[in-house]
Amino acid sequence: TPRVFSGIKPSGGLTLGNYLGAIKRWVEMQEDPTYETIYCVVDMHAVTVWQDPADLSRATREVAAAMLASGIDPTKSILFNQARVPGHAELGWLFSCVARVGWMNRMTQFKDKAGKNTEKVSLGLYAYPALMAADILLYHATHVPVGEDQKQHVELTRDIAAKFNHDYGVDFFPMTEPVIEGPAMRVMNLRDGSKKMSKSGESDMERINMLDDADTIAKKFKKARTDPAALPTDIEGLKDRPEAKNLIDIYAGLSECDAADVLRDFGGEGWGKFKPALAELAVEKLAPVSAEMKRLLDAPDELDAIMKQGAERASEIAEPILSRTFEIMGFVR
């Protein structure tokens, strides 16, 4: 059966971008009987940049809580944290010997995060895409639902699989497909429509956090940057209006329709009318999720037990694949 794998880094709070670009889609795939679904809190990726130990534990539980509160059901999906399954690190090392430095040099996310000062970033930040390929291929996952920003990393995963298969003369690792569908797969920063909304942006006003309360959400949308023109009446009119397009895409993502539908209802209106409607919709969708997240975060033992059990199920799938990989490469074990 087609197998789905995806992950979120526990580094800082979760945003509306993570919710619309990832978690929401994960729940849909879980409910589709075609797929077996595996969802991971990728804690080993988080430490590519400094994480205070207490923050890492809290953020790991927060990501697990967000998944559960959004509808990931541990009886239907495997939910676990990466550090509990050592095969990720093992296969990650093997893949860092398959991937080429030239491939890593082309990763745009590394260039964005490292900036000019590449001497001072961790080696892990650079090698990160090889670990991500290992996360996916340790389960022979065929489908990876992600936001637009992860597309290049999934393509690199295919390159690693193809090179491994070619070098060892096997047909062992599958060619994984990224699944990037929906109106809000690239949610932008609320203050600058040319940058993506991220957990780590400097100002809290640029993002909606999944745990923000109703007043904060309303204030952030009210202050969100827009141009002065009214909403256009069709999607053609969104060209060269990145901030307008972003707010409309967010509305579409939250209400499960597309931008054209939103413009059918709001085309010609001003922002003074649209922004409060958007805030109301966001609160309606996020408030129950954040309330449940808070409840779960007060029960860390429950969260830890779910992740532990998920890790046991994940290991059962991973172990034979990892053993076979070692065998193909000629290791004596």
- Nearest 10 degrees: Cα torsion 280, 284, 285, 286: 90
Whole-number Å distance between alpha carbons of 8 and 59: 11
Place of tokens 């999934």: 154
Sole binder of ligand TYM in the list 146, 279, 286, 306 (CB under 6 A): 146
Sole binder of ligand TYM in the list 29, 66, 99, 144 (CB under 6 A): 144
142 near ligand TYM, judged by CB under 6 A:
no
Whole-number Å distance between alpha carbons of 244 and 228: 10
Tell me if residue 273 is catalytic: no
The token pair that represents 266 in the structure block: 């709001």
Q: Determine the interface stretch with ligand TYM among 184-192, 214-222, 241-249, 295-303 (rule: CB under 6 A).
A: 184-192
Nearer to ligand TYM by C-beta: 130 or 303?
130
Q: What is the 8-class DSSP label of residue 236? A: G
Q: Determine the interface stretch with ligand TYM among 28-36, 193-201, 237-245, 296-304 (rule: CB under 6 A).
A: 193-201
Tell me if residue 196 is catalytic: yes
The minimum distance between CB 60 and ligand TYM, in angstroms, equals 12
Whole-number Å distance between alpha carbons of 322 and 331: 12
Residue 148 marked as a ligand binder: yes
245 near ligand TYM, judged by CB under 6 A:
no
Instruction: Give, as ranges, the residues between 78 and 137 that touch ligand TYM (CB under 6 A).
Output: 132, 135-136
The minimum distance between CB 34 and ligand TYM, in angstroms, equals 19
176 near ligand TYM, judged by CB under 6 A:
no
147 near ligand TYM, judged by CB under 6 A:
yes
What is the secondary structure of 184-205 as a DSSP string? TSSPBPSS-TTSB--TT-S-GG
Polymer length in residues for the chain: 333
DSSP β-bridge partners for residue 144: 178
Sole binder of ligand TYM in the list 4, 187, 217, 293 (CB under 6 A): 187
Whole-number Å distance between alpha carbons of 218 and 277: 10
Pairing of strands 177-179, 143-145: parallel
Nearer to ligand TYM by C-beta: 24 or 275?
24
Kindly give, in sequence order, each residue whose CB lies less than 8 Å from that of residue 269, ignoring residues fewer than 6 positions away. Answer: 230, 231
- Sign of the alpha-carbon torsion through 258, 264, 269, 275: negative
Residue 269 marked as a ligand binder: no
17 near ligand TYM, judged by CB under 6 A:
yes
Whole-number Å distance between alpha carbons of 199 and 283: 19
Known binding site: residues?
9-11, 17-18, 135, 147-149, 187, 196-200
Q: Which residues of this chain interact with ligand TYM, rule CB under 6 A?
A: 5-9, 17-18, 21-22, 42, 45, 132, 135-136, 144, 146-147, 149-150, 153, 185-187, 196-198
What is the set of active-site residues? 113, 196, 199
